[in-house]
Amino acid sequence: MPRVRIEKLVYQGYGLARSNGKAIFVHRAAPEDLADVRITESRKSFDLALIETLVEPSPERMEPPCPFFKQGCGGCQWQHIQYQYQLEWKKKIFLEFLERNRFKQPFPPLTVCDSTPLHYRTRFHFHLAESGRPALFRERTHQLVTVDHCWLLPEKLNDLLSQLHQADWLAGCESFQLWLDDADNAGLETTPSLAASSLAGVRQQFPGLKILHPLSPDRMEYHIGDFHFRVGEQSFFQTNRSLNSKLNETICALAGRGATLLDLYSGIGFFTLPLSRQFTRAVGVEENMALVRQAEANARSNRVENVEFVADRVERYLDKTGETFDFILVDPPRAGLSRKTIGSILAIRPERMVYVSCDPTTMVRDLQWLGASYQVRQFFLFDLFPQTFHFEVVAELALRDECVKGLDVFRRRDGQDILGVSTFWERRDGLRAVSAWQFTSRTDGLRSFPGNFAFCGRDGPQAVSPIIPFFSQDCLLPARN
């Protein structure tokens, strides 16, 4: 059983230690802990471990307030770490992502926006154990831990959660979500939806409870500035009541004003509607038709007439649109942007962009691909999920002044098509331009390209990674990140 000193926290919430040169990721550790650990899983390059004996506790530790955290509930990962240190480590983790992906230093300014550390969530998803009682997954397993209280929820939702332990009508459900709106109305949404015959009995047992159901007119109601949002079943709304308005205000401030706005992955219009006041025309693209209908209803109720919501896949919409846009907002799912979406955005060439992400790993990857054409001006880290390793990042991007772009597809010798972005740079002497390219994979095997030079794989100028453009030998400008 190795004794290790925890060096730091890493994304996914583990503490990193080393033993005999091998990395060990330790569950529920804190920086500077000295602990005897038990290896639970051994892989070629790293081990996973649990703390068996905490020899010297970290000064960053605290006593977790939640008894279910001590039982292994996976709703939180960092309740044992004081909140100010959680913020510091989230900032360090994000900066490490930038450094590891060769972002040009000094990094753009990073502003950290903190949150109420507890009782901040207005929406939470629970499973049902075999006993029919509400439960959450044990961390990093599919085992369930029954809970009757959650320290992330406001008291009104905790009162409802404790009462649901006696609700026999939940027996046919797999899971449920609790909601709380800005008027402190509690809401319930089940998966699958409750039988129609159960609705009257639920309303009788829980007077005033809003039931999000296909047969129910109930809606959760939220306010962002002077915009009013009504949210129905199978929908999404940001969960942190202490930061939602600040997040929206930040996006609006970064967007500026202009003629045309494109909001990709627009949902119910959380960003689109407030931004619409700053643009002559706004378009929101969302694949989920139910969300589009709710977005359109929210536009009508807020008397917004310059917005169009389109029910379509983002890639397909960008393929067929012939419009140009002054500003593009992207708020993709955790998988980030596809190569095709990035290529389409580069072809549109908006003057300004904002990227909102709940997964810094895919965001940093995408920013590298956008980096030949766009410069990141600043980052904002919103701690929307205290007590967990998760956080939201907002990046402001501006079109680089010194280059213009073109989008091309090149064919390798094996017949595979590769996306390339051409960038035309002015030489410092101002006499001529040279070409740079970025590709989705290594450049070996490519024969020739349109532009100012051609090469054959290893015999000519070559990118050393898929995120760093290469230049002809007479180019006097440095490579960009």
Amino acid, single-letter form, for residue 234: Q
Catalytic residue among 358, 403, 456, 475: 358
DSSP code string of 232-249: -TT-----BTTTHHHHHH
The yes-or-no answer on residue 358 being catalytic is yes
Angle at 25 between CA 23 and CA 31, to 5 degrees: 100
Nearest Cα to 145, choosing from 79, 73, 75, 77?
73
Q: Which residues pair with 10 in a beta bridge?
A: none
Q: Is the dihedral of CA 84, 90, 92, 95 positive or negative?
A: negative
Q: Which residues pair with 37 in a beta bridge?
A: 51
Nearest Cα to 86, choosing from 62, 121, 122, 70?
62
Burial of 109 (0-12, 13-18, 19+ CB in 10 A): exposed
Measured distance CA(463)–CA(443) in Å, rounded = 7
Burial of 278 (0-12, 13-18, 19+ CB in 10 A): middle
Provide the H-helix boundaries in 165-301.
Answer: 199-205, 244-255, 272-276, 289-301
Q: For the chain, how big is the Rg over CA atoms in Å?
A: 25
Cis peptide before 192 (omega within 30 of 0): yes
Measured distance CA(372)–CA(467) in Å, rounded = 9
Burial of 373 (0-12, 13-18, 19+ CB in 10 A): buried
DSSP code string of 94-114: HHHHHHHTTPPSSPPPEEEE-
Helix (H) or strand (E) holding 85: helix 83-100
Identify whether the C-beta of residue 398 lies closer than 8 Å to the C-beta of residue 352.
yes
3-state secondary structure of 430: coil
How distant, in Å, are the alpha carbons of 9, 224, 289, 330, 475 from that of 251?
29, 12, 24, 11, 37
The token pair at 36 is: 């005897």
Measured distance CA(10)–CA(384) in Å, rounded = 18
Q: What count of Cα atoms within 13 Å lies in the side-chain half-sphere of residue 170?
A: 24
Q: Which residues are catalytic?
A: 358
